[in-house]
């Protein structure tokens, strides 16, 4: 049985996140249907993270097992024939049997985009959070720096989630501006549900304020124990 790792990109606007669900269209479900067409049997695809509804991925890794002998260099082309235009498989490789897209991942980077201008830009709809009041990226960076290190992030998970443990290590949280676009890049060894979108000071999630919209969030970089990317 071969273990195949895929790299892919997707726009999450039309999907209810990655995880396969009974009543909603998801990225994982769409990819599994394409995989069945390619290898000729039903497969289970493991993704590197459960991205939420509307969240995008500039890089994403998944893996599945198959007896099909299709060459790995042909797999991206075969998958993309059966995928919609907002999901693209960019690469494939055969990996050892113990590789797991989520379990073998040691660090992840997410980027949140804010379109900070008095006037909307239609090309950033569902691609960045439109915020009309001026934001000072220097002040934002000063605040973001407090998250770097190993902390209990119970305060920045969604209300009602019971993930244990809640301690994570944030390696960096960098804020930069280019014109009207502010980039917030955060790298950690793992993320709680809605953690990137809800990062605030304090331990009480009910005092943290509203979570920013999903459309500005992208998975942008992954680190693996193996040479996958």
The rounded Cα 192 to chain-centroid distance in angstroms is 12
Determine the Cα–Cα distance for residues 30 and 20; give it in Å rounded to an integer. Answer: 9
Phi/psi at 197 (nearest 5 deg)?
Answer: -75, -10
Catalytic one of 52, 86, 189, 227: 52
Determine the Cα–Cα distance for residues 164 and 161; give it in Å rounded to an integer. Answer: 9
For this structure, is 227 an active site residue? Answer: no
Determine the Cα–Cα distance for residues 169 and 171; give it in Å rounded to an integer. Answer: 6
- Residue 111 tokens read as 């980027």
Cis preceding-peptide flag for 32 (omega within 30 of 0)? no
Q: Would you name the residues annotated as active-site residues?
A: 52
């Amino acid at each position: 049985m071969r273990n195949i790792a895929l790299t892919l990109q997707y726009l999450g606007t039309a999907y209810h996140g990655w995880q396969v669900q009974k009543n909603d269209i998801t990225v994982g479900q769409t990819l599994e249907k394409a995989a069945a067409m390619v290898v000729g049997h039903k497969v289970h695809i493991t993704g590197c993270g459960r991205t939420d509804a509307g969240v995008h991925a500039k890089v994403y890794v998944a893996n599945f097992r198959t007896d099909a002998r299709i060459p790995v260099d042909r797999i991206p082309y075969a998958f993309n024939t059966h995928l919609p235009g907002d999901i693209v498989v960019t690469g494939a490789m055969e990996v050892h049997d113990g590789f797991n897209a989520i379990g073998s991942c040691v660090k992840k980077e997410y980027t949140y985009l804010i379109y900070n201008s008095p006037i909307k830009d239609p090309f950033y709809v569902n691609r960045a959070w439109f915020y009309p009041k001026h934001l000072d990226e220097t002040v934002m960076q000063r605040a973001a720096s407090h998250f770097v290190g190993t902390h209990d992030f119970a305060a920045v998970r969604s209300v009602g989630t019971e993930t244990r443990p809640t301690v994570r290590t944030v390696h960096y949280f960098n804020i930069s501006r280019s014109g009207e676009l502010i980039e917030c890049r955060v790298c950690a060894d793992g993320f709680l549900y809605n953690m990137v979108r809800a990062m605030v000071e304090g331990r009480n999630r009910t005092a943290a304020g509203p979570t920013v919209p999903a459309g500005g969030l992208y998975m942008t970089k992954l680190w693996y124990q193996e040479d996958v990317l």
